[in-house]
Amino acid sequence: MSRGQALRDRLVVAVVALAAWQLAALVFGAHWVSPPLATARRFLQLVADGELVRHAGFTLAAAAGGFLVGGLPGAVIPFALRRMPRLAAVLDPYLVAGYGVPKLALTPLFILWFGIGLASKVALVASVVFFLVLFSAAAGVRAADVRLVGMARVVGASEQAVARHVVWPGAVPFIFAGFKISLSYAIGAAVVGELISSNRGLGYLIQAASQDFDTTTVFAGLIAVTLLVIVINEAVEAAERRVLKWRPADAQPQRRLVTAA
Amino acid sequence: MILAGRVVLGIACLVVWHAAHLALGAEWISSPADIVTRTVEIAIDGELWRHTLATLTEATFGFLLGGGAGILVPFALRLSPRLTAALDPFFAAAMGVPKLALAPLLILWFGIGITSKVMFVAAVVFFFLFFNTLAGVRSVDPRLASAVRVLGAREWTVTWEIAWHTALPYVFAGLKVALPRAISAAVVGEFIAADRGLGHYINNARAMADTVGLFTGVAVVTLLVLGIDTLLERLQARSLAWQPLTRDAGV
Amino acid sequence: MSDTAAPLLEVRGLGKRFEPRGARAEGLWAIRELSFAVGEREFVTIVGPSGSGKSTLLNLIAQIDAPSEGEIRFGGRSIASPTSGALRPGWERQFGYVTQDDTLLPWRTLADNVLFPLRVQGRLDAETRERARRLMQAVGLQGFEQHYPHELSGGMRKRAALIRTLVYDPPVILMDEPFGALDAQTRAQLQADLLKLWNGGRKTIVFVTHDIAEAIALGDRTLVFTRAPARVQSEHRIAIPRPRDVRNVYGLDGFPELYERIRKELA
């Protein structure tokens, strides 16, 4: 299939999707499905009067704060536990259970403890990010241990040298992978916190609009959240490509379609 | 030794919990004992079962709806590589949508009853299953598919024999991730607007400053999810016995 | 044989070009102007340098891939050409194909793998089951029927792949370096097994290898291919009488001379 055709096909899909959206708006009425044009207009209007930026800023702050509060310990703890296998074994079932706990269902607890402001969202996001990063980093530490540590010890490296030159570099890609996965979860968690109880943020914007039956703003808000996630993901990928330029193209995960036979 | 450490740690956690309850006050942290008492109470008066049943109903129907579609669509897409290629960038974008943000819209559309939560759970589950199954279907070894065709298999057999089996570990990985999330999605949906369900119970308790109720609800949800997690783990180990080593494929 | 009777399988002016990918602007011809014929019940081996399009040729014959030029004829009929439309892998079970890497289904037991073609062809009955059982016994797989492929050694998987093709009795069997990845011992054993089975009920075999000794030890005739784009560089009739002792090929009559000749051609 030629590249031009693929591009044309995609354009067709986009046009069909827009047409279906418009049609749905006509069939169900603008009260239920906000038409594309009205949504776009509302989106621009919200951008112009600064509302969207304000709410997005709050959501981002909640996500970023929780990301730091949860992500850093999540990345460091597996290294500490590497030297304490017994403690690690004791903690293991608790950490696994903690990973399984539905953090979003804890939101009312966080709101009880930290109020409806930023702090409760940061706590929620942190609880989500912590376990994601923790298990990625732990996988990295394990991977490094299995392959290389034995070899390094054989050639006489000290424990510290092993940690610095073998385990750490080996685990870094895993930690980054954990961070990357956590990004969209962080935003999702922040939005959920805002949906449930808040006075600012994109989640609040959507929830408040839905209670006013303002479908157009709900749609615009959803688009804003989606764009936020996509932009952040793209930025991270661009950064990753730059940082990991030395890696052969093959080693990078394929994002393009590989048609199955 | 390790087991003893685990037990000690568990007891220590309970002690710290209780100490926090005493230090900070019952309005902030409920004691484990109060939670147990409340659980027994609402179990006896039937409230626990009513809410749990509502949440599980939403989760189950949403899971079947979203999961079924999420598994079937990637197989259907096998029929048209061209359409799949055209849709590819849209899939990537859809992956970015925080599905949980859809809850207010779905409540707007389907009301505060059970339907909106079913749809919400379905939306959340669909994406998990869809992307995992798609990855599975795409990882079909073309050599295996060719070999089976040479042996005289029809396209239907190729789909069933190769694509399905190849995708199965991915489907399981997706189910495993999605099933607990189905329950938490139902609960989150109930937080936002509902007249029934564990999320409703929790939210209601919070509104009435009933800390014990809030803790009890959260504890029930947590145990429910962890229980289902464990169950799934067992099930998967059984049906993928043919796999050599790693059991966790997929995203 | 090819020069006396009408050939069973004929390749005429065959060419396969792979589309350019990425930086390489030119497409790549793996095969070009390739012609040869194979007679019924003939065991033809093909040797050539690695990357000389031998696997591509078998993929074209098995109809896993379509030719860019020329045609393939089977029993006097044209079955594949650039214009012949949709591929029909295996050409209605006329071609069995044993590939380089084993393509056993990892989620099926050994017995299920061997019976698989019979099952999908709707020919699974007491008689074919018995045939499968006998074949498995002949290559020493009895007792492993309920094992999954990952629980078997490389040599056992190869045997299973071979049996899986023999069990449904296709008139032509294509083999692409089937014993390539095995140790010398296992390899010799499998070669012996193959010859034994072939002597039992002679099939037409096209056997690709890069091992000259293997090509001579097994074949009635061997074709030497050029580098890509592959053509037939030379052809040698192998007059060594059968049955042959593949464990001692170097001692076979006429082997060293032929080996030397082919080695020089490939150098």
Does B221 reach chain A within 8 Å, measured CB to CB?
yes
Q: Tell me if B147 and C96 make a contact (CB, 8 A cut-off).
A: no
Cα B36-B37-B42 angle, rounded to 5 deg = 100
Closest CA of chain C from B179, distance in Å: 25
Q: Tell me if B151 and C107 make a contact (CB, 8 A cut-off).
A: no
Taking only the tens place, the pLDDT of each residue in A207-239 is: 999 999 999 999 999 999 999 988 888 888 888
Residue C89 is nearest to which of B141, B149, B168, comparing CB atoms?
B149
Max avg pLDDT among A18-32, A140-154, B162-176, B237-251 = A18-32
Task: Determine the Cα–Cα distance for residues C229 and C32; give it in Å rounded to an integer.
Answer: 5
Which neighbouring-strand residues pair with C43? C205
Residue A4, Cβ neighbours under 10 Å: how many?
Answer: 8
Residue A218 is nearest to which of B10, B108, B222, comparing CB atoms?
B108
Contacts of A106 in chain B (CB under 8 A): 218
Does B97 reach chain A within 8 Å, measured CB to CB?
yes
Task: Determine the Cα–Cα distance for residues C204 and C170; give it in Å rounded to an integer.
Answer: 9
**What residues of chain C score a pLDDT lower than 50?**
1-3
Q: What is the pLDDT of residue C24?
A: 55
Residue B138 is nearest to which of A6, A196, A258, comparing CB atoms?
A258
Token reading at B52:
């749990």
Closest CA of chain B from C149, distance in Å: 9
Look at strands C28-38 and C9-18 and give their pairing: antiparallel
Which neighbouring-strand residues pair with C175? C98, C207
| Peptide bond connecting C243 to the previous residue in cis, omega within 30 degrees of 0 | yes
Does B162 reach chain C within 8 Å, measured CB to CB?
yes
Q: What is the pLDDT of residue C5?
A: 60
Residue A104 is nearest to which of B90, B139, B184, comparing CB atoms?
B184
SS3 at position A107: helix
Cα B108-B111-B115 angle, rounded to 5 deg = 115
Taking only the tens place, the pLDDT of each residue in C175-210 is: 999 888 788 888 888 898 888 888 888 889 999 998
Give chains near B: 3+ CB pairs under 8 A: A, C
Does A6 reach chain B within 8 Å, measured CB to CB?
yes
Contacts of B149 in chain C (CB under 8 A): 64, 89-90
Contacts of B138 in chain A (CB under 8 A): 257-260
What percent of chain A lies above the pLDDT cut of 90?
52
Q: Over its length of 261 residues, how does chain A's per-residue pLDDT go in tens digits? A: 466 787 888 899 999 999 999 999 999 998 899 999 999 999 999 999 999 999 999 999 999 999 999 999 999 999 888 888 888 888 988 998 898 899 999 999 999 999 989 999 999 999 999 999 999 988 888 877 666 677 777 777 777 777 777 777 777 888 888 888 898 899 999 999 999 988 999 999 999 999 999 999 999 999 999 999 888 888 888 887 776 665 554 433 333 332 222
Q: Tell me if B85 and A32 make a contact (CB, 8 A cut-off).
A: no
SS3 at position C220: coil
Q: Tell me if B151 and C164 make a contact (CB, 8 A cut-off).
A: yes
> C18: burial class by Cβ within 10 Å (0-12, 13-18, 19+)?
middle
C63: left (phi over 0), alpha (psi -120 to 50) or beta: left
DSSP C150: G
Q: What is the pLDDT of residue C241?
A: 85
Q: Tell me if B85 and A233 make a contact (CB, 8 A cut-off).
A: no
Does A7 reach chain B within 8 Å, measured CB to CB?
no
Look at strands C221-225 and C232-237 and give their pairing: antiparallel
The radius of gyration of chain C from alpha carbons, rounded to an integer in Å, stands at 18
The radius of gyration of chain B from alpha carbons, rounded to an integer in Å, stands at 22
ipTM: 0.86
**E-state strands within C23-94:** 28-38, 43-47, 69-74, 77-80
Question: Residue A239 to residues A132, A141, A243: CA-CA distances in angstroms?
Answer: 21, 23, 6
Contacts of B143 in chain C (CB under 8 A): 99, 101, 103
Question: Residue C89 to residues A77, A84, B160, C58: CA-CA distances in angstroms?
Answer: 55, 58, 18, 11
Residue A165, Cβ neighbours under 10 Å: how many?
Answer: 13
Task: Determine the Cα–Cα distance for residues C241 and C235; give it in Å rounded to an integer.
Answer: 18
Task: Determine the Cα–Cα distance for residues C28 and C41; give it in Å rounded to an integer.
Answer: 34
